[in-house]
Amino acid sequence: MTSAEISRRPIIIDTDPGQDDAIAILTALASPELDVLGITAVAGNVPLPLTLLNTRKLCELAGKPDTPVFEGCARPMVRSLVTAEHVHGKTGLDGPELPEPTMPVQEEHAVDFIIASLLAADDAGITLCPVGPLTNIALAMVKEPSIVPKIREIVLMGGAYWEGGNITPTAEFNIYVDPHAAHVVFTSGVPIVAHSLDVTHRALMTKEWIAAVRALETDVGRASAEMLTFYERFDEEKYGTNGGPLHDPNVIAYLIDPTIYEGKDCFVEVEIGSEKTMGQTSVDWWRVTKNEPNCHWIREVDSERFYALLLDRLGRYND
């Protein structure tokens, strides 16, 4: 075995593609440090049939049609599904025209795949990387609580504290869509690393970076540039910035090089009572309560190193 194989970190990506999910998936599949055991689709940015289709399109774009892809939950645990076509387009992956995939969807349900993978692993054997609503992750914990000690870490994209919300004034989309699932995850006792809007809004894409992605002159480079050009228009208009945040790839970049980031262990809880603040992540950053921290809340990012890492990994694809 090569040294890379010996040190490859087993991960499961749970996703609702989503153009930013797409860059996270493409980055992970090009990174020898990571062993992507499978990718589980969940309803979120767009309904499940589309997030599942987009996940398969992306695996084929990456030239990895053997990646195990699983169908997950079609709606949140309690609330009705809220989607984000206004951001991602009606397909969820607007921008490029990607071919209809031929790779299979695995028979096993995503929740059962997550459970089976963890039960077969050593303690702290697998890292879960949810970058959409937490429905699949929470239901795996509810269905089979004995998986909890098998999870090394949950490194997720979700939440907001200093930044405010992006789908309501107080809530970030992934947590807002399924706040009850987020409550299950944040009270599970599993070590959590949260990449919230607090950090993702500090690393904005630039036109020059997207041009460098396009200049890779590969199918992945062209498709990524087309996705991101479509995707960033919404946040540029909303925030009046030159460039938008690229949320989900922060999870993968953290796994590859955690020194790009800085955070603090905090107690975080999810609002599931008030409709007005539903899905808000309350972060005890200044330790004003006696609650023990349950999350490493990321707040700082070296934006230059983040985008350089993404370009390096996207640049590893060739046609």
Catalytic residue annotation: 247
Choices 25-33, 51-59, 166-174, 221-229 (CB under 6 A): range interacting with ligand RIB: 166-174
State in angstroms the smallest separation of the CB of 248 from Ca ion: 5
- Nearer to ligand RIB (CB atom), residue 93 or residue 115: 93
State in angstroms the smallest separation of the CB of 132 from Ca ion: 4
- Nearer to Ca ion (CB atom), residue 153 or residue 248: 248
SS3 annotation, the chain: CCHHHHCCEEEEEEECCCHHHHHHHHHHHCCCCEEEEEEEECCCCCCHHHHHHHHHHHHHHCCCCCCCEEECCCCCCCCCCCCCHHHHCCCCCCCCCCCCCCCCCCCCCHHHHHHHHHHCCCCCCEEEEECCCCHHHHHHHHHCHHHHHHEEEEEEECCCCCCCCCCCCCCCHHHHHCHHHHHHHHCCCCCEEEECHHHHCCCECCHHHHHHHHCCCCHHHHHHHHHHHHHHHHHHHHHCCCCCECCCHHHHHHHHCHHHEEEEEECEEECCCCCCCCCCEEECCCCCCCCCCCEEEEEEECHHHHHHHHHHHHCCCCC
Structure-token match 């169908």, residue found: 71
132 binds Ca ion (CB under 5 A): yes
- Nearer to Ca ion (CB atom), residue 224 or residue 284: 224
Q: Which residues contact 264 (CB under 8 A, 6 or more apart)?
A: 285, 296, 297, 299
Q: Segment 209-248, which members bind Ca ion (CB under 5 A)? A: 248
- Binding partner at 166 among Ca ion, ligand RIB, none, C-beta below 5 to 8 Å by kind: ligand RIB
245-264 mask for Ca ion (x: CB under 5 A)?
A: ---x----------------
Choices 17-25, 116-124, 289-297, 303-311 (CB under 6 A): range interacting with ligand RIB: 17-25
Q: Applying CB under 6 A, which of residues 18, 101, 221, 249 lies at the interface with ligand RIB?
A: 18
- Binding partner at 151 among Ca ion, ligand RIB, none, C-beta below 5 to 8 Å by kind: none
Q: Segment 231-290, which members bind ligand RIB (CB under 6 A)? A: 247-248
Which of 12, 35, 90, 19 lies closest to 247 in space, CA to CA?
A: 19
Choices 12-20, 97-105, 217-225, 304-312 (CB under 6 A): range interacting with ligand RIB: 12-20
188 binds ligand RIB (CB under 6 A): no
Q: Segment 15-54, which members bind Ca ion (CB under 5 A)? A: 16, 18, 21
What is the rounded CA–CA span in Å between residue 11 and residue 152? 10
State in angstroms the smallest separation of the CB of 48 from Ca ion: 13
- Binding partner at 50 among ligand RIB, Ca ion, none, C-beta below 5 to 8 Å by kind: none
Would you tell me which residues interact with Ca ion (CB under 5 A)?
Answer: 16, 18, 21, 131-132, 248
Would you tell me which residues interact with ligand RIB (CB under 6 A)?
Answer: 16, 18, 20-21, 44-45, 131-132, 157, 166, 172-174, 247-248
